[in-house]
Structure 1
Amino acid sequence: MKGIVEGFEDNYCIIEIEGNSKNVPLNEVNSSVKTCDVVEWNGHEWVTNPEETQIRIKEIKSLMKDVWED
């Protein structure tokens, strides 16, 4: 299962999974996870998928460039 980290609030990590936001207890999230990371459930905790996170960052930067170019 994959998701995208939307942020952190109180003792929860908010992860968008299949278009729905889910409040996940922090004890189920690896401490290295950051906002905007693509994460995967490894059977024990949510961990960052570095390759997919980088792909997502590049896609977002490309979209932003297209919006702000004249």
Structure 2
Amino acid sequence: MRGIIDRIEGNYYVIEVDNDMLDVEKQLVEQSATAGDVVSWDGSCWKVDAAATKERSQQIKQLMDGLWNDD
């Protein structure tokens, strides 16, 4: 199962999975995780998928660059 960290609220990470928002206790998420990271459930905790996070960031940057392109 994969998701995207939407935000951190108190002792919970809010993770979007298949258009649903899950409130996940902090101890179930890798400590280095931040908002915007792609995470995968490994059966015991949510782990950051660095490659997927980088790819997602690049896609968002391309979309933003396209919005501001004057051509």
The Cα shift of 1:44 comes to 1.0
Tell me how many residue pairs correspond in the alignment. 70
Identity %: 36
Deviation beyond 2 Å, 4+ runs, structure 1: none
Q: Does 1:45 align with 2:60?
A: no
Give 1:1-70 correspondences, 5 Å limit: 1-70=1-70
Gaps of at least 5 residues in structure 2 are none
Gaps of at least 5 residues in structure 1 are none
Rounded to whole Å, the distance in 2 between the matches of 1:38 and 1:57 is 10
Secondary structure in 2 aligned to 1:63? helix
Q: State the TM-score, normalizing by the size of structure 1.
A: 0.96
Q: State the TM-score, normalizing by the size of structure 2.
A: 0.95
Please list the CA deviations of residues 15-62 of structure 1 after superposition, one character each: whole Å capped at 9, or x if unmatched: 000011111011111101111000000111101001111110000000
